[in-house]
Amino acid sequence: MPPPVVVNEHRIYCSQRCQQKSEEIHSILYSNSSYSSVWIEHALSNKIDRFLMSGEVFTRVFVDIREHGKSAEEAWGPYKHFASGSWIELISNQTSDVDTKEKLCNDLQTLLKTSHQILLQVLSERYPDVRTTGKPWQDYITLNHFDKIMGLFELNNPTIEIDSPFHFYFGKVHADKTLHKKASPVLGPLVQKINTKHNCIPSCHGHGLFYVHSCMNHSCNPNAKQTSLPTITEAEIAIEAQKEIQKGEEITISYVK
């Protein structure tokens, strides 16, 4: 495996290819253009991180078809196996009150339409033909498809929790008397506070799609289970076998336990 590509303290990629793919989408959605600013402000003001992630998938599929000559099926391929559904229905079905549900559906529909229109405006700045009918990407830039992508993230969006690197740093300082002596005048009472109250520096949280985890089917008698394996620098989802698994046998987990 090639060494990671470190752009800065906030952006680390597993390879140059990964970096290039990410920056291609980043340069479209998060440029200095007026519509990009509107998109970012809209997504953040509604405090729904799924808008940002869904926007990136929406854009990636379009760009792969428009720029890289992939077929629509090939471009959508990385996401088609994830469970999906209408985001509006998934959210509105959480309430049983008819009047409340109807109002919620209308509000979500308005919000989704606004998001979709802003996203198309962002894309049209670089690709004026994005709305042209008869193009191979036509079915993948519709409001219904954006609703489906939002639903995909609603159903497959595990939280990634990564311990703050400060905890590791202060642990090293505390364990080394020489370092502790040198650091104490600078860090002062913060060292003691960290030692006695671990949660005073919160962990870092993020969201993502995990193919292995999200594409596994449920079984009441599963042959595997999912566990979280936190390490110093990352948190991983691990799948552990619970019984002997034969070649060609489907690996299943329990959605209930």
Return the HEC string of the chain.
CCCCEEEECCEEECCHHHHHHHHHHHHHHCCCCHHHHHHHHHHHHCCCHHHHHHHHHHHHHHHHHHCCCCCHHHHHHHHCCCCCCCHHHHHHCCCCCHHHHHHHHHHHHHHHHHHHHHHHHHHHHHCCCCCCCCCCCHHHCCHHHHHHHHHHHHHCCCEEEECCHHHHHHHHHHHCHHHHHHHHHHHCCHHHHHHHCHHHCCCEEEECCCHHHHCCEECCCCCEEEEEEECCCCEEEEEEECCCCCCCCCCEECCCC
Q: Which of the four pLDDT bands, split at 50, 70 and 90, describes residue 109? A: very high
Indicate the domain borders of the chain: 5-155, 158-163+204-257, 165-202
pLDDT at residue 1, rounded to an integer = 45
Which of 15-19, 39-43, 128-132, 210-214 has the largest mean confidence?
A: 128-132
pLDDT at residue 7, rounded to an integer = 58
Asked if 245 contacts 251 with a C-beta cutoff of 8 angstroms, the reply is yes
List all residues 6 or more positions away from 28 whose beta carbon is below 8 Å from its beta carbon: 36, 59, 63, 122, 123, 126
pLDDT at residue 233, rounded to an integer = 43
Bigger pLDDT: 204 or 9? 204
pLDDT at residue 171, rounded to an integer = 73
Quote the Cα angle for 198-200-202, to 5°: 90
Residue 165 predicted with pLDDT over 80: no
Mean pLDDT of the residues in the chain: 82
Compute the distance between CA of residue 171 and CA of residue 29 in angstroms, rounded to an integer. Answer: 39
Compute the distance between CA of residue 175 and CA of residue 235 in angstroms, rounded to an integer. Answer: 24
Asked if 163 contacts 205 with a C-beta cutoff of 8 angstroms, the reply is no
Asked if 150 contacts 54 with a C-beta cutoff of 8 angstroms, the reply is yes
Residue 189 predicted with pLDDT over 70: no
- Residue whose entry in the numeric block shows the structure tokens 């159903």: 155
Could you tell me the CATH superfamily of domain 158-163+204-257? SET domain (2.170.270.10)
**126-162: per-residue pLDDT in tens?**
999 999 999 999 999 999 999 999 999 888 876 666 6
Phi and psi dihedrals of 227, rounded to 5? -140, 160
Asked if 173 contacts 200 with a C-beta cutoff of 8 angstroms, the reply is no
The pTM is what?
0.71
